[in-house]
Structure formats: structure tokens, C-alpha cells
A and B are shown apart, each in its own frame.
Chain A
Amino acid sequence: MTGPAASVPIPGHDPATVLLRTDGVTKSFGGVHALKGVDFELRSGEVHALLGENGAGKSTFVKIISGQMRADEGSLRIGDRTMDAAHQGSTQATNDVAVVHQELSIVPTMTVLDNLFLGHPAVGFLYRRRELRRRGRAALDRIGLGSLNLDSLAGSLPLAERQLIEIARAVTRDARIVILDEPTATLSDAEIERVFGVVRELRARGHAVVYISHRLKEIFALADRATVFRDGRRISTEPVADLTPDLLVERIIGRNLVKERSRIANEDHAQPRSIRLDVKNLTCQPTFRDVSLSVAVGEIVGVVGQIGSGADDLIRSLAGARPPQAGSMLLDGEQYTPNSIRQALSRGVSFVSDDRAKNGVFLDVPINHNLTSMVLSSVVRGGIVRSGDERRVGKTLAKRFTIDARRLRSAANQLSGGNQQKVSLGKSAAMNPRLLLLNEPTRGVDVGARSEIYRLLRQLADEGAAVLLFSSDLAEVVEICDRVVTFFHGRAVTELKGADITEQSLLQGILNPEEVPL
């Protein structure tokens, strides 16, 4: 709509002005390179898309250019100020660069005005309400939100408007550079159009917008240039007009990385197996609707989708954490309607959550107490927890889940992230579940522990469990899943099997499939 107008340069804003430049930015965590020698430039009046798989280095890069983190090497120039590695990470940068995160930092119990000036440098000891009202009004007008009441409670607004308030907050700070991190992940199409309008408005006013999204359709609709990250390196920066979706996907994955499917996946499809979980037309508003899928005994099935696609919410609903509103679930042919995690467990459905620290492990409790926590009755005789029995059961479980048995008495927080995840998995699998549900089975897990976890999942499936998992790591899904269902906007879209599961086919499934034929 505002397309033609946006390309007209605003007086005083030379579109060629470079607002931000990085030279050779390098950052590593514990010996692993997150970024390697990244050169990058951002110009006034452009929307610059940042693309790459999870772990490609996008978020580390954003943290460095927004001053939240310091690079190990390399320099960063914002406007006419150059900072070498030693001087980055200060708050100076943050006045020029504003980041709008996926996770909203809007306080729902405060008004729009208060949210706009939350932590704003113009708010001193006194809260000069009239002055701030004027500036807040101007900021909202500028991004096309003039109709919004400054005194409404932020919590009463629809999600998209809250998202837009975050953007307006960046505008009140006169941030020349606005970074949007998946701003549309949880929005509907109509709401997305409003965000687009605001982004175009910012561009027209000479701001530079860094736009991070996994939705190719948005990139082609909105961005001027696109930079692709892979394995911590900047792979390419090109005008979007020169790109096609195919080309972009290829850049993101890297041709040489389109691997043959690992042999770990179960190729034994000839043998018919009994259906363990059968889901029909399951709906849980507002996250997913009309979802049908099944998991057989011995099978590992993946559900994948972007943030807000509902795929991870499906796992939670099946685990009893969020009962669905409509549809039917059968477990081994019997009605299955879990209203709580306890009920699900009593039917043999166990859940490994994605947030270990919050609800996956007991961090300051000994490892063997963690492992036996869900099978406590097996080590109780005569109303007493028998420590001998517990040691034995703990040792067996430790061996099975490749946890160092000598450390059973140390607290779980003494372990590395990967080993903690194995404890979390071991604890939930100790009961030999009929159906094992996992959300992000290897988040924050190093490569070595990762492959051990894949092997453990396969082993559990071979022993007669049905495994259903959600993961945002496509390489992982390719490696372990026998079958994958992709989700888009709350609906199950495509189903892939066996050798058809590639990163490319998955990416096509989770990006809007009808509108961007790849």
C-alpha cells in the first residue's frame, strides 16, 4: 500500500548513509564460535532481513550490535562513533539501537503511555506527564497508531497493538536503528499487515530496520536486502529483488549440508504396528485447531513449526498441561482425556519439558533422587524409602541413560546442560511410558550429549514406547524422526515420511506453503 511512497527518499535522509557497520566481529562461547569475522552494514531507509537457522548466530549478532554483549574481536561503528571490542557492550549503543524482542516487554497492568516511557532516559526524578503525553502521542502518530488511547491499559490491547507499542517505544527514543526479532510469530494475517505498515513508515522516515523472520513470504513482501547467516558466518548479503525463495532456502541450509538421512531413523516400515496414539480433529484455542495425527508403537514422530504455529502446544495438550476443547484422543484404542499431568501419567503418558531449570529437573537435589522421583514406589518397602534399593535403581537408570554413576549423589546442578537433559529424560522415561512426549529434546545440549539423547530415544521406541516430539532444530528432526507433521498457523499442514524428510522439505512445510511455492 505504502510501497511506492516508501521508496521516495525523505529530505535530509540520504538512503546511502551507512548507519551501522561491523568489521570482523567474532564471538565464541566456551571455545565454540558463535560468530566468525562478520562484516555487515546497515543503511538509512532500508529494511534489512536477517536469516539463518537456529544457532546460525543471528541472536548473538543482534546482541552485539545492540550493545547487550561485547564481541571478542572486531569493531562496531554506529553513526560516526567507532567502538573496538573493548568498548562495546556499553549502554551507549542502546540509545541508537532499539530491539523489539519476540517476548514482549510490555507491562500489562500499566497504561500505553507508561509503557512507552518505561526506562526512558527522558523520565527523570519527576514524571512530567504532560510533556511525555505530547511526545508519546507524536510517536504513535508517526507509526500510524494515532487512534490509540494513551490511557488504555496495555493488557487490554490485542497482541499486535502491544507489539506495535514496543516499536513505538523505540521511536520515542529516536533510535535510528530498530531491530525486530520475529515480530509476527504470534500474529494473525490482518495484524501482520499493520506491523508491515509501521515498518514501511519507519523506512520512509530514514530509520534502518533489521527484520528477523523465518517467514520467507514476509521477507519478499517487506525487505530491501537480505543477509544470511550460517554457522556463525555471514554467507551472503543481496538485494531481495535478485533472490528467489529457492535461492534463499539454499543459502540458509547450504547445499553441502543437505545431508543424507541418518540411518538412526527406523526404516522398518514394512511391518504394520499397532497405533498407540490416535488424535482426531483436536482443537485448543487459540493455539491449534482441527489437528489429526497418529503415533504407532516403536515410532518416533516429530511435529515442527515456527513459534506460534501450535506444534509445541499440541505436545503440552497431549501431556495434560492444557486440556483441549474439542476433538478426540485414543490411547491404545481407549478414550484418553487428560485434564492434568498427573492424569496423563496415570495412563502411561510421560512428558519431558523444554525448560529443564523451571520444570524438568530438581536442580539442587541429588541425581539419583531425581531419577527415582517418578518411580518412587519402586524403592519403597514398608513405607520407607530404601536407600539400597534406590542406589540400585539409580545405578540401573544411570547406566541406561549414560549418566556417570559415580556422581549419583551430587546435586543435578553440578552437571553440564547435556547431562542435566539426560537426567530430565531419564526421570521421565524411568516409568517406561507408553507414550513419551518431548518438547525441544536437546535445547542447550552439546553435540556429544545430543547424539546420545537421539540414541536413547530410538532405544525407548524399540523397547515399545511411542515417541512424539516437537523441535525447532530441523537437522535434529531429520536425524531422528520416522515421520514428521508440519504445522502452520495452528493447523497440521503436511506429513512427511522416511526419506522424504529433509531440511528443505521441512522448511517448505513450516514456511507458508500455499503462498510461497518453493
Chain B
Amino acid sequence: MANSSKEYAYYLEGNKIAIVEKDVSFDNNVDSKDYGPGVSRQRWESPQSSVTNGLEVNYVYAPTYNLNFGGFTIPNSSTQGAAIFGIFGWTVIGGYLSFVVGPGQLNNGYTNFASSGLDEELGTAGTDSILIGGSSRWNGVHKIKARGDGYLQTNTKFSSILEIQTLSIDLHDEDFTVDDDNVGNGISYLFQNDSSNTVYFFLRDGDINSDGTQTVATANQQIFKATFDGNYTLTVSHTLFIDTLLGATATVGTGITWSEIAITGDYMDDVTNGDYHLNKIIKDNCVLYGKSAFNNMEDESFELDLPNYLQKALVYYIKGKLAEDSGNIELKEYSMREFKKMIEKHENSRISGLRIISSGLHAIR
């Protein structure tokens, strides 16, 4: 469909941004008081259509990390040292933010982040960190809490329920539905607000009775795209995989662009009463950089990525904070004054000539 002109606006609500679109469709309801030829609604509503990459946010961030990988790095590879991985989205596992890589390749089982083959790229859980880029929410450094099969759990706490564990997961490969027989109201709770939305989920090994882990079959190791019936059944339509290498020939499994393929019997095996975790995934295609691909500010060797003049201003800030700690308020005030003065001088240094405030276009002259 050709691009059509729209009118948007935003307002802020808490830490969220609300996007609204002007609805100018004609009201043809004869029972409406606004009915009439040429009468439009002209009201602000939630977006009227989905737009891929439709929202652009330009923002300032503090540079507490430096990307440092060079040369050619194959995405999703375990042989390059400085690794990058295409991430489909995120979920919450055990109360912690977790990034989902899923299978990546078509019908090849999950990419196992727990594999020792990725030790060099990802590092040690509890010690090393990963960097997220290109996310609509989670850009920045996250410490690794655990590396799992198809996901990476971070130390970032997140208060939301996005997973269930049950003995009753059924997968039906004749009609591609997944349900939990409404035992424990798991699926119905997890997707309660999604009756009219597309949802994404994946399955993880379970051991609810502590009698041995039930492993998810390779065919079922997928990121599933589905719809929720409002009751306790998910109907799968597609499965997701990575398909395109950046700037090169399309190769399955070695890119960071996600595509979908219609579900067939190749991508789902029949299961009755599976003991699994089922995780809802919030779609947020982004890139995960392994520990060797960036420098995190964690020791004295970290090189500050700041203009020289502002580095000196930062010294005053540190002196001010240390003086505040020791109760020397006079020195703190002096240091902070110098800090702000240097920032103002830096700001002015980039604007030559006079600063002129002009009156507005429609001002009285």
C-alpha cells in the first residue's frame, strides 16, 4: 500500500510515551448525532494502523561502554571471539529480564547459549556482562545471571509475569494449537490481554515434579507466532528464524534480521501433557554483543569517551562529590560551580558569533 499522510501527536504518562493519531474517517452511522455528508470525526485515538519502524526516538545517553570489535564478525557464530547475536525479543525468567534468541536457524533446535563453545564470546555467568543495542527499551550493559538453551538471563530485575510452568502443555500438530487444558489458568492468565493481538512464545524444558527434566523436542524448539482464543488455546500461524547476513548474500542463521515461515508439521511435534515452561516473548528485535565486543566501565583502565574539556569538568564533579562525602560543603560548592562553568564554556565554544533571540513569526513588531 502506498504511503498515506497521517497526523500524530504524543503525550507523556509516567515513564511511557503515548502515541495518538487523528482519526478523520467519515462517520456513516445513521444513529450517530455526527452523521451527515462530509462530517468527520476528527478525534485523537490510539494508532489506527501498524507501522514497521514507524516511531523514531532521538535521545541522549551516558557513554559507560565502548564498542571495540573490529573486522568481520559473523553474526550468531561461535568461532569469532567478538560475537554478536540477533535477538528476537525478551521475556522474564525467574523474575529476571532474559533475551530470547530461539532457534535462529530453521528447525535446528535452540541456539544454546549455555554451550561451552560460547564461553569465549559470552563469558561467565555472575561475572561478565553483555551489551544490548538496537532495542526499543533495553539498550546498555546487562550482567549475565545465567546462560540457557535459546535464551540469556540477565541480572536485571523485572517485575512482570511472562512465564508459566505446568505439566499440562499440549501441542497438536494437526491444527497447530498449543493449550494447557486450563490447568492452573496458566495460558489464560499469561495472555489475558491479548485476545485481539498477535503473540509470541517459546517452550523451555521443565521439571515440575523434580523427577527428571522433560526436554522440549527439537521440532518444538521454535519461536512461535500465534493468536490467543481468549480461553486457554494458542493457535500458531508462523515460526520465526534469522535469515539475512548484513550486507551480504542471504544465509539462514547468520544474520540479525528476523523472518517468519508458515507453520507446518516440520515445525511442531505432537505432545500431550508436556512438563514445560511456556514463556511469552515481547518482540523487540535487537543485537546482543558478547563480552569481547565492548569495554564496560568496571575498572581503572576504562578510557572515557568524552571531549577533553569535559573530562576536566568531570574531575571537578568527582572532587565535588568526594568533598560532599567528607562534609566539606564549601569545597563541594566550589567544585560544582567550576563543573557547571566548564560545561557552559564548552557549550558556548561550539557557537561562533552572537547569540540572538529573534521574535516569533507572528509577533507584534
A, B bound: no
